[in-house]
Structure 1
Amino acid sequence: MKIKVGNKGNIKVLLAFKDEKIANIDSKLKNYIEEKKLFNGKKGEIFTDIGPNANNIAIVGLGEKEKLDGQVLRIAAFNLAKKLASLKVESANIEIREIENFTQNEIIHLLSEGLLQSEYVFDEYKTDKEEIFEVEYNFNIDSQIEEAEENIKLAKDIIEGVFIARDLVNIPSIDMYPETLANNAKSILEKVGVEVEVLGKKEIEDLNMKAFLAVAEGSDKEPKFIIMKYLPNQDQKPLTFVGKGLTYDSGGYALKSPNGMVTMKSDMGGAASVIGAMYSIAKTKLNQNVVAVVAACENMISGRAYKNGDIVSSMKGTTIEIINTDAEGRVTLADSIYYAATKIDSAAVIDLATLTGACVVGLGDFTTGLVTNNQELCDNLVSASKVAGEYLWQLPVQEELRDMLKGKNADLTNSTGRMGGAITAGLFLENFVEGKPWVHMDIAGPAFAESAYNYIPAGGTGIPVKTLYLLAKNFNK
């Protein structure tokens, strides 16, 4: 897809609010549309009059003016792109209008993002590949042309990171395991200037990451600890992302059902998102130090696998009673987060994980649940998510929930049962942040979609790459 600035294109594209009188079109066509009630500007609605003897125009609905937000503009552009590609339109001229509360550059960025989202397809394992018809889009503006071009490029760089995360999640576990995840991180990130270090089992043992190793022990695939560093500033503490990297989760001896295992390639959605975010951060040359770490392994069954009732230690030395081997993500994250807090001089730590079904039950498929020890950091993350069009919700914390994590035979228990499970999972991780400003993101719902919605495809979604990027962009401002 080509997105440019200029007054070119085979068809003219207009943006219209609900029930708005449409200007700049042929009077006969306007009367015909109104008489037949062919278009009323509903959110995401597209009207086209395209062909050899037509007016060659498309009108895009933005819904009610007072309800307009960035998400509406993204969806409108996505729907437009899908429609014009299906009609084999070669080029389009989008007239950028004034919209209250949005600058011209914001409008161009949001529309560019929606257009680009329409191109995502994952067909690596299909013999018949989906044909993508390329449309050239031109934004028709009279001023701030250079800034507009910069915003188009910015949108492309961010969406590339989103697509990287989607691809990593969508590759099945037969091909995506700790070694290949690490190799992908190196090949994707090193070309944009991110330093990537991969630790093998011996080096993980030297770090005393006993919790991580306990989960990994049941698999024949060697665990990998992936450290990604983007450090443009010499004297700045980094913002650190910690992504859950379970490349497959069978549940271990708390075995999942067949249906429950089908999508478990997605249990490394946190790892995929931090890799995608690191790509966009480096590609756009943000002036912010950022580090990301991933403990990559599989949770499998074998004679070596850890079992329900086991007690394991951790890098910190805290002991963990394993009540449920299917609550493995928090066990690997315990060592990952402790590494981020102690081996990296992190200014703040954000961990993200497809952690609990409880979060999906409580918040639904589209919303990330948050647990934090630092309200300012959490507020900044939520603010970033609102700009990104990704949904976050802070979960309530009470001291009684912390008490539930005390183990009967060890320092901590890895599972407190169903009630408040998303919160107690986050509070379990709090024991390993060593007082660093921290937010836990439970992305179990939004990281993987059973079916497409808005501009999000079925499968890996790339959520919350955009939120992480925007948090990093504004971290020291």
Structure 2
Amino acid sequence: MRYEFSNSGDAVVKAVFDTQKVKKGSLRFELQAEKPTLLVGLGDKEAVTSASVREVFFGVPGQLSNYEIKRPVLEGLEEAELVTAAFEGIWAGNYVFTRYKKDELADKRIETLCVPKMDALKEKLNESTILMESADFTRYLVNSRSIDLYPQTLAELAKAELEPFGVEVEVLGKKQAEEAGLKAFLAVSQGSDKEPKVIIAKYNGAGDAPYGALIGKGLTYDSGGYDIKPGEGMFDMFGDMAGAATVLGAVRAAAAAKLEKNVAAVVLACENLIDGSAYKNGDIISSHRGKTIEIDSTDAEGRLTLADALSYTEETMKPSYMVDVATLTGAVVVALGDLAAGAVTNDEGLMKDLLASAEEADELIWQLPAYEAYKEQYKSKYADLKNSGGFAGGAITAGLFLGEFVEDTPWVHLDVAGVTYRHDKAKAPYPMGASGYGVKTLYKLVKNR
């Protein structure tokens, strides 16, 4: 979908603030209008926000597809920020994943949204287009099944998508990972016949300035290992690399927008499967940082790969800040549901910046407490640490465990397990399947920091 400054189209989509005419949140066709006109109820004009506009306009493509309307004209919104939100809502509602199934409504999708001219709107819509395209790339990666998306193909897709924007993508194989001392990461990968890959995507827009590092969990499939998941819990584990997809999408956006910033995505990609070589409960392994880890659960594998990723990135890149993004725990879903990500940090300044960026992006993040006493839960009698702190406070202890592998760099851990994928149905403003959550927030953090 694209936008065009025009008042000529085959239908009208009109924002309405009169609740007597159209109930808030509802969509209704006006049959007596000169052109087909879809009325979009937004409620009290003084209470309207970009988030509420985005959510309601998400439903517009579904309504227009019934009439094969491809070029609607947007009316009734007078602020560039709200027009941009409507554009993003329509874009997300227009999205469909077509890798494995033909889009039955392909010839009925909106192709062009006609918008009015107003100050600063072109700049906002150009940036929004970049963000929506980058979120679509993230969605494509997360929605792809593990029979097709594994460490090698993830690396190939990252190169193909990012390099045209001037991003330098380096891919390291198993031998190089061994030479780099990524022992915890390699332990997780042992049960798979797919070679693990280290993917480093660097965008340089600021010369010699330090990089900001976005680190994504890259488990392209997670069976749970010998702590095997039940069938219903394993179905959507092709999406356990959503953190990786999100940071790659964010770097794509920064590069496409030509931000005058330096930012890198770091992904340690592998599968967590079972064979005679797989790591086991009770094993004690080492890590890039040199700390030993007792394996309390082979299904707490993501924190092992991220521990090495954080340590390796800090040592080799010396970034100005690090944010890791991971579908890490079911505990965060219990705590926050499917509306917000949970965050743990060692630096309140960076956390403040991330929360401000999330607010600007209309994406929800909740900072979790990080009391020292929680660290008692993952102490081991036989190793420096164990890789699980138990069920109680699981999202917090998982984050604090990662913090054990960060030295001085400002860092935030973002657990996105509840917000990156919805299997059965869409939930405005995100489509069914992969949501693309987090790309906008990370982009705005890079831009504003």
What is the distance in 1 between the residues matched to 2:381 and 2:77? 64
1:64-75 map, 5 Å: 64-75=44-55
**2:385 is the counterpart of 1:412:** yes
Indicate which of 43, 57, 82 corresponds to 1:77. 57
One-letter code of the match for 1:266?
Answer: G
Q: Which 10-residue stretch deviates more, 83-92 or 167-176?
A: 83-92
What is the distance in 2 between the residues matched to 1:306 and 1:423? 25
Indicate which of 211, 217, 227 corresponds to 2:190. 217
1:28-427 map, 5 Å: 39-43=21-25, 45-50=26-31, 56-98=36-78, 104-126=79-101, 129-135=104-110, 136-141=112-117, 143-144=118-119, 147-427=120-400
One-letter code of the match for 1:439?
Answer: V
Q: CA deviation at 1:134?
A: 4.1
Residue 429 of structure 2 is matched in structure 1 by: 455
One-letter code of the match for 1:468?
Answer: L
Q: CA deviation at 1:382?
A: 1.1
Q: CA deviation at 1:85?
A: 2.7
CA deviations on 1:64-96 (whole Å, 9 max, x unpaired) are 334321111112322223322322224322224
What is the distance in 2 between the residues matched to 1:175 and 1:79? 31
Conservation of the 8 A alpha-carbon contact between 2:134 and 2:253:
yes
Conservation of the 8 A alpha-carbon contact between 1:157 and 1:280:
yes
What is the distance in 1 between the residues matched to 2:396 and 2:56? 36
Conservation of the 8 A alpha-carbon contact between 1:4 and 1:149:
no
What is the distance in 1 between the residues matched to 2:2 and 2:336? 38
Change (3 A) 1:264 1:90: closer
Q: CA deviation at 1:286?
A: 0.9
Conservation of the 8 A alpha-carbon contact between 1:373 and 1:439:
yes
Q: CA deviation at 1:132?
A: 4.2
What is the distance in 2 between the residues matched to 1:254 and 1:219? 15
CA deviations on 1:100-152 (whole Å, 9 max, x unpaired) are xxxx32122212211211221113212575424243321123x43xx322222
1:464-475 map, 5 Å: 464-475=438-449
Q: Which 10-residue stretch deviates more, 247-256 or 7-16?
A: 7-16
> SS state of the match for residue 222, structure 1?
coil
> Structure 2, unaligned stretches of length 5 or more?
none
What is the distance in 1 between the residues matched to 2:77 and 2:362? 22
> SS state of the match for residue 343, structure 1?
helix
- Corresponding pairs, count: 447
What is the distance in 1 between the residues matched to 2:13 and 2:147? 45
CA deviations on 1:423-475 (whole Å, 9 max, x unpaired) are 00000000111121000000010011133111312211111111111111101
Q: Which 10-residue stretch deviates more, 319-328 or 147-156?
A: 147-156
> SS state of the match for residue 118, structure 1?
helix
Residue 34 of structure 1 is matched in structure 2 by: none
CA deviations on 1:38-57 (whole Å, 9 max, x unpaired) are x43412x1221258x85533
Q: Percent identity?
A: 45
What is the distance in 2 between the residues matched to 1:77 and 1:217? 46
Q: CA deviation at 1:187?
A: 0.5
TM-score when scaled to structure 2?
A: 0.96
Residue 432 of structure 1 is matched in structure 2 by: 405
Residue 4 of structure 1 is matched in structure 2 by: 4
> SS state of the match for residue 404, structure 1?
helix
What is the distance in 2 between the residues matched to 1:56 and 1:329? 51
Q: CA deviation at 1:251?
A: 0.4
- CA RMSD between the two structures: 1.7
What is the distance in 2 between the residues matched to 1:232 and 1:93? 36
Q: CA deviation at 1:333?
A: 0.5
> SS state of the match for residue 108, structure 2?
coil
Conservation of the 8 A alpha-carbon contact between 1:194 and 1:230:
yes
Change (3 A) 1:128 1:443: closer
Conservation of the 8 A alpha-carbon contact between 1:96 and 1:139:
no
TM-score when scaled to structure 1?
A: 0.90
Change (3 A) 1:69 1:327: same
What is the distance in 2 between the residues matched to 1:370 and 1:233? 28
> SS state of the match for residue 72, structure 1?
helix
Conservation of the 8 A alpha-carbon contact between 1:123 and 1:130:
no
What is the distance in 2 between the residues matched to 1:2 and 1:225? 35
One-letter code of the match for 1:61?
Answer: G
CA deviations on 1:20-63 (whole Å, 9 max, x unpaired) are 6xxxxxxxxxxxxxxxxxx43412x1221258x85533321112
Residue 17 of structure 1 is matched in structure 2 by: 17
One-letter code of the match for 2:85?
Answer: L
Change (3 A) 1:294 1:55: closer
Q: CA deviation at 1:9?
A: 2.2
> SS state of the match for residue 154, structure 2?
helix
